[in-house]
Chains A and B, each alone.
Chain A
Amino acid sequence: MNTQLKKGVLELCVLELLRTGDRYGYELVAKISRSIEISEGTIYPLLRRLQNEGYMSTYLKESSEGPPRKYYQLTARGEEKRKEYLKDWRSFVSGVEKIVGGHSE
């Protein structure tokens, strides 16, 4: 898959993963890189940007194994953005499907 396209949908993936609950950095990165072939190094600056733009907030939480971890939480603004991205993504996919769908290879 084309890198540019992949990076474009990463924001949606991060916000979507946070919809069901707060997660720490490694969890987010590991979950995404398991499904999408992308360098982990690409996701970290993106987490920072989403945070700086107010779509997520962070807090530290003690962990049973080792030092406290930084958790990411979806903000109200982030939730709005998530819906917006999801709508964009759905319409994009259905548009592409209309063109490529219906034939194999």
Chain B
Amino acid sequence: MNKEQYLKQLSANLGQLKGAEREDILGDIAEYFDCAARDGQSVEAICAHLGDPKKLAREYWAQHCIERVHVKASPGSMARALASSAALGTINFLYVLFVVVVGYIVIAALYVAAVSIGLAGIGVLVAGIPYTLLMGAGFVVATTFAGIAVICVGILAFIGTMKLAGLFKRVNMAFLNNISNRIRRGNNEQND
């Protein structure tokens, strides 16, 4: 592998790293190649010292993803940080799959359930109206109260789900801080 091939492979594996950051990384490694060559090292030796370009790219990418989470903690940025760390072998991929994916599915399901309860309440409210003539005003009052009660349950469920999602996010953040420290400490023996 020569310098151009190495940089090409590195670039191809830098994921969605964009613009200046990508240029900067490629520039650093290109500079290393030039300096080492001037120092009398062979291209083969330089490539061997730098290691697999894919692995180097994964390390840069994981680092970038974790930095993003500290800038903006969203489900997307967290999922990317976890996935990139899993690719590095720093964390267990099963954790990512199980806790994050299942966790978000559960939260999404709870939101759907809460909204459904709310809609059911509205349904009860509206459905009662046509029966006014048939069943009398008392029935409508009853369905209205029942409808409002069900809507309230839906709203409470929604708020509860929001709190749960917030807690899940905090737990994930704590976990990410932990793994970012582990990346810092280089807990990716599997790939070495």
- Bound-state CA distance A8–B182 (Å) is 9
B31 at the A/B interface (Cβ < 8 Å)? yes
B160 close to chain A: CB less than 8 A: no
Q: Quick one: given A25-B32, A70-B31, are A65 and B186 in contact (CB under 8 Å)? A: no
Q: How far is the CB of A72 from chain B (nearest CB, A)?
A: 11
Tell me which of A6, A25, A49 has the highest count of chain B C-beta atoms within 10 A of its own C-beta: A49
Q: Decide: A42 and B186 in contact? CB cutoff 8 A.
A: yes
> Is A49 within 8 A of B29, CB to CB?
no
Q: Which of B24, B32, B59 has a CB less than 8 Å from the CB of A29?
A: B32
**Cα(A48)–Cα(B189), bound, Å:** 21
Q: Of all chain A residues, which has the CB nearest B185? A: A8
Q: Do residues A44 and B32 form an inter-chain contact, with CB atoms below 8 A?
A: yes
Within 8 A of A (CB), among B161-192: 184-187, 189, 192
Q: Does B49 contact A (CB under 8 A)?
A: yes
Interface of B is mostly: helix
B184 contacts A49, CB within 8 Å?
yes
Q: Whose C-beta in chain B lies nearest to the C-beta of A40?
A: B49
Query: How many of chain B's residues have a CB under 8 angstroms from any CB in A?
Result: 28
A29 cross-chain contacts in B, Cβ below 8 A: 32
Q: Which stretch (B35-43, B94-102, B106-114, B127-135) binds chain A?
A: B35-43
Hey, which chain A residues are within 8 Å of B187, CB to CB? Answer: 4
Contacts of A49 in B (CB 8 A): 63, 184
B38 touches A48 (CB 8 A): no
Q: Is the interface of A mostly helix, strand, loop or mixed?
A: helix
Interface string of A7-33 (1 = CB under 8 A from B): 110010000000000001111011001
Give the docked Cα–Cα distance between A48 and B21 (Å).
Answer: 10
> Is the Cβ of B28 less than 8 Å from the Cβ of A3?
no
Decide: B31 and A41 in contact? CB cutoff 8 A.
no
Interface residues of B in 1-45 (CB under 8 A from A): 24-25, 27-29, 31-32, 34-36, 38-39
Q: Is the CB of B28 within 8 A of A48?
A: yes
Q: Which residues of chain B have C-beta atoms less than 8 A from A67's C-beta?
A: 31, 34
Q: Are A24 and B56 in contact (CB under 8 A)?
A: no
List residues of chain B with CB within 8 A of the CB of A4.
Answer: 185-187, 189
Per the 8 Å Cβ criterion, residues 50-97 of A in contact with B are 52, 65-67, 69-70
- Residues of B at the A interface (CB closer than 8 Å) are 24-25, 27-29, 31-32, 34-36, 38-39, 49-52, 55-56, 59-60, 63, 67, 184-187, 189, 192
Give 30 CB contacts A-B under 8 Å: A3-B186, A3-B192, A4-B187, A7-B184, A8-B184, A24-B35, A25-B31, A25-B32, A25-B35, A26-B35, A26-B36, A26-B39, A29-B32, A30-B36, A30-B39, A39-B49, A40-B51, A41-B50, A41-B52, A41-B56, A42-B51, A42-B59, A44-B25, A44-B50, A44-B56, A49-B63, A66-B38, A67-B34, A69-B35, A70-B28
